[in-house]
């Protein structure tokens, strides 16, 4: 490795770059080593690893004091030698990268300049002044920062200087030098890189007989990963936990926070509703299921509006369907959601973002309840942590969906746009969500489909659907590519 370092120092290509720029490049490429070295022999992979490690002029990789970044290179190479699967996403949790190679390999994420407003996010959640201090600064956990997250903190720095940061201060456990590098890329360039690293799955297939005809009940379903980085997810989860605490303490409007008593397994999950109050059953006052016209809940929190901005800008939801409401579901072990089709009080498409743990969502035109939290149906789709599931077309209106009893704690945030005729009396649209437009970067969908695999898969589905339906037995997500 010493030879590699000396050759790097003599390399005229590297002379135009500062030590800090080389260090950032080294860490960035270290995270991508599993992808860059795929299909290479061990010798070539080792050479590539050494070359990446040599970019950091401050480090003797073979010495006892080697830095954390080069230790990561060594660890990754050990995984490659053992031919194990590695996470090739930057700034996302490993569960977010569990896909076949035929999907778009896009999976970087962090906020773009956050939001331009300077108001305290607590003011959007509750008029109660006591809530201001609770939401002003959210705690952050000790998350090891990737190149993408460090670039993200660079953006948050700018937001804080302007008094408009949504997410708070630099993470604990990171030095000032680590948390505030100044990469030689403009914000627009970094945004473009992260956007193009989002992975998009849009060709789900599951044929079932509906009204005498075989139809793809999952047409219109999309799964996006890499939209929210690990740092994003951490902040969002902490924010939800603060909102939950506010609800328990009576600092949110009555209909915003709901924590019914658990009267049986799977019943009684905690919910938070913003923008509108949706009534799931006939309530004590005789109101039918649907959006309650005469009930108000707290408006969308500032952070959730930042999430919506990201979803529109990064081509996850169309600008014609900007969400104006959301429901947060907080699942404890054993909680579930029974089979249903979302109310048409909300227009299509809508989406659900998953946090804390991977979850299976079961789809089918004829889902059956077997027991408490136990359902059968045609196909289960696995939602990685941090993923965004978009429901539209048949996937929203023909197929029912449900969430079987979750094995561990989970949080989901479902964003939906109300039908204008169903909006509550006195509802005022959020001014900072008007006129949102997607980024002017194209989305490459050429890798989404593999026709030969699709034909084989759809034939199997039409011929053998009954064999895949059984108690407690769901297919894993079929990425037909």
The tens digit of pLDDT for each residue in 445-479 reads 544 444 333 333 333 444 443 343 333 333 333 33
The beta strands (E) that lie in 127-242 are given as 199-201, 207-210, 213-216, 222-225
Query: What does the alpha-carbon distance between residue 135 and residue 241 come to, in Å, rounded to a whole number?
Result: 11
Q: Is residue 480 part of a domain?
A: no
CATH number where 380 lies = 2.60.120.590
Other beta carbons within 10 Å of 176: 7
Task: Over range 378-385, report the average pLDDT.
Answer: 96
**Boundary of a domain, candidates 66, 86, 106:** 86
* Full residue range of the structural domain in which residue 40 is found: 2-86
C-alpha separations of 280 from 290, 372, 397 in Å: 7, 19, 17
Q: Is residue 163 part of a domain?
A: no
Q: Is residue 77 part of a domain?
A: yes
Helices (H), 346-474: 393-397, 451-464
Do 255 and 391 belong to one domain?
A: yes
The better pLDDT of the pair 303, 158 is held by 303
Q: Is residue 397 part of a domain?
A: yes
- Residue 36 burial by Cβ neighbours in a 10 Å radius (0-12, 13-18, 19+): middle
At 238-286, the pLDDT tens digits run 999 999 999 999 999 999 999 977 655 656 689 999 999 999 888 778 8
The beta strands (E) that lie in 82-192 are given as none
Contact status, residue 179 vs residue 140, Cβ threshold 8 Å: no
Q: pTM surpassing 0.75?
A: no
**Boundary of a domain, candidates 43, 67, 86:** 86
At 407-459, the pLDDT tens digits run 999 999 999 999 999 999 999 999 999 999 999 877 665 444 443 333 333 33
Do 292 and 413 belong to one domain?
A: yes
Please give the full DSSP string across 315-341, using - where no structure is assigned: TSS-GGG---EEEEEEEPTT--EEEE-
User: How many structural domains does the chain have?
Assistant: 2
Q: Is residue 283 part of a domain?
A: yes
Torsion of CA 150, 155, 157, 160, to 10 degrees: -140
Q: What is the pLDDT of residue 10?
A: 56
Q: Is residue 333 part of a domain?
A: yes
**Boundary of a domain, candidates 32, 65, 86:** 86
In this predicted structure, which of 22-36, 221-235, 297-311 has the lowest mean pLDDT? 22-36
């Amino acid at each position: 490795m010493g030879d590699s370092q000396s050759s790097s120092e003599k390399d005229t290509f590297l002379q135009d770059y500062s030590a800090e720029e080389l260090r950032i490049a080294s860490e960035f490429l270290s995270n991508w080593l599993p992808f860059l070295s795929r299909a290479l022999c061990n010798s070539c992979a080792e050479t590539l690893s050494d070359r990446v490690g040599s970019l950091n002029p401050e480090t003797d990789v073979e010495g006892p004091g080697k830095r954390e970044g080069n230790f990561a290179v060594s660890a990754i190479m050990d995984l490659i030698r053992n031919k194990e699967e590695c996470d090739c996403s930057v700034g996302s949790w490993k569960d977010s990268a569990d896909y076949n190679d035929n999907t778009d390999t896009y999976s970087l994420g962090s906020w773009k300049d956050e939001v331009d407003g300077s108001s305290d996010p607590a003011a959007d959640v509750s008029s109660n002044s006591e809530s201001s201090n609770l939401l002003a600064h959210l705690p952050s956990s000790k998350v090891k920062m990737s190149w993408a997250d460090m670039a993200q903190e660079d953006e948050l720095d700018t937001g804080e200087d302007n008094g408009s940061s949504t997410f708070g201060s630099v993470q604990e456990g990171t030095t000032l030098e680590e948390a505030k590098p100044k990469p030689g890329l403009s914000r627009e360039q970094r945004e473009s890189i992260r956007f193009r690293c989002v992975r998009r799955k849009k060709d789900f297939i599951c044929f079932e007989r509906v009204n005498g005809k075989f139809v793809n009940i999952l047409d219109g379903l999309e799964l996006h990963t890499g939209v929210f980085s690990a740092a994003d997810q951490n902040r969002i989860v902490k924010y939800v936990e603060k909102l939950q605490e506010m609800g328990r303490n009576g600092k949110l409007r009555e209909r915003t926070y709901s924590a019914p008593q658990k009267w049986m397994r799977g019943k009684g999950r905690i919910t938070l509703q913003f923008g509108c109050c949706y009534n799931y059953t006939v309530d004590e006052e005789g109101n039918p299921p649907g959006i309650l016209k005469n009930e108000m809940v707290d408006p969308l929190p500032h952070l959730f509006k930042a999430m919506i901005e990201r979803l529109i800008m990064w081509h996850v939801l169309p600008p014609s369907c900007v969400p104006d409401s959301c429901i947060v579901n907080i699942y404890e072990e054993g909680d579930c959601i029974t089979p249903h089709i979302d109310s048409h009080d909300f227009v299509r498409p809508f989406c659900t973002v998953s946090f804390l743990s991977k979850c299976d969502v079961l789809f089918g035109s004829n889902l059956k309840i077997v027991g408490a939290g136990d359902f059968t149906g045609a196909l289960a789709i696995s939602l990685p942590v941090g993923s965004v599931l978009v429901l539209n077309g048949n996937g929203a209106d023909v197929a029912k969906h449900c969430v079987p009893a979750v094995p561990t704690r989970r949080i989901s945030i479902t964003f939906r746009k109300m039908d204008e005729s169903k909006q509550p009396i006195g509802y005022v649209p959020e001014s900072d969500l008007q006129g949102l437009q997607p980024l002017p970067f194209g989305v490459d969908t050429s890798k989404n489909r593999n026709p030969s695999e699709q034909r084989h898969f759809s034939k199997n589905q039409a011929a053998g659907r009954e064999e895949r339906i059984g108690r407690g037995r769901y297919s894993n997500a079929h990425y037909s590519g």
